[in-house]
Structure 1
Amino acid sequence: MKAVRYTLISGMLLLGMVFMKPTVVVSQCAMCSLNAENSTQHGNTQGKGLNNGILFLLGAPFLIGAGIGILWYKKYRTKSPKQTLLSHHS
């Protein structure tokens, strides 16, 4: 019963996170932002590539953190004791 509850709750949380994602994320240092803005005003499309590259590189630390979290969870979660035939008869 706990496994069903856990699966249901984790599925709902995952769906919630998918639908609550931000639509536009822009993060740059001031110098990169200025160069990208100036280049897009003159017809270049390199600013979009710069934004995408920064966001791609930003994803690696989050993936590493998620991997560590999953490994930690799997290692330290408590396992339910298995019932044996002898425990039913006593």
Structure 2
Amino acid sequence: MKIKSLILVIVFFVLPRLSIAQCAMCRAVLESQDDNSMAEGINNGIVYLMALPYILLGVLFYLVYRKMRS
């Protein structure tokens, strides 16, 4: 059980790095600028906003599962 939990945590930390993406409008604006740090910041913000609900749902389902099991 501990190994599965460890693998799940690792996947949650690796997955955002694999899913770097932007909407078309943000990409057009950010590509016109010379500074790439702002584009990376926007990418990270999008990924965190996308990942947070999945993490919260995962924690909720785990707590419900643990409560039902005991």
Band the TM-score falls in, shorter-chain normalisation = 0.5 to 0.7
TM-align CA RMSD: 2.5
The one-letter code of the counterpart of 1:70 is Y
Shift in CA distance, 58/17, structure 1 to aligned 2, threshold 3 Å:
same
Shift in CA distance, 17/67, structure 1 to aligned 2, threshold 3 Å:
closer
Q: Of residues 28, 41, 54 in structure 2, which corresponds to 1:62? A: 54
| Higher gyration radius (CA) | 1
Q: Of residues 30, 36, 47 in structure 2, which corresponds to 1:36? A: 30
SS in 1 for 2:64: helix
Runs of 5+ in structure 1 lacking a partner? 1-6, 80-90
For CA contacts below 8 A with separation 6 or more, give which structure has more relative contact order. Answer: 2
- Alpha-carbon displacement from aligned partner over 1:65-90 (angstroms, at most 9, x marks no partner): 1121112211211x5xxxxxxxxxxx
Q: Which has the higher helix share?
A: 2
User: Deviating runs (4+, > 6 A) in structure 1?
Assistant: none
Identity %: 27
Q: Which TM-score applies when normalising by structure 1?
A: 0.55
Q: Which TM-score applies when normalising by structure 2?
A: 0.66
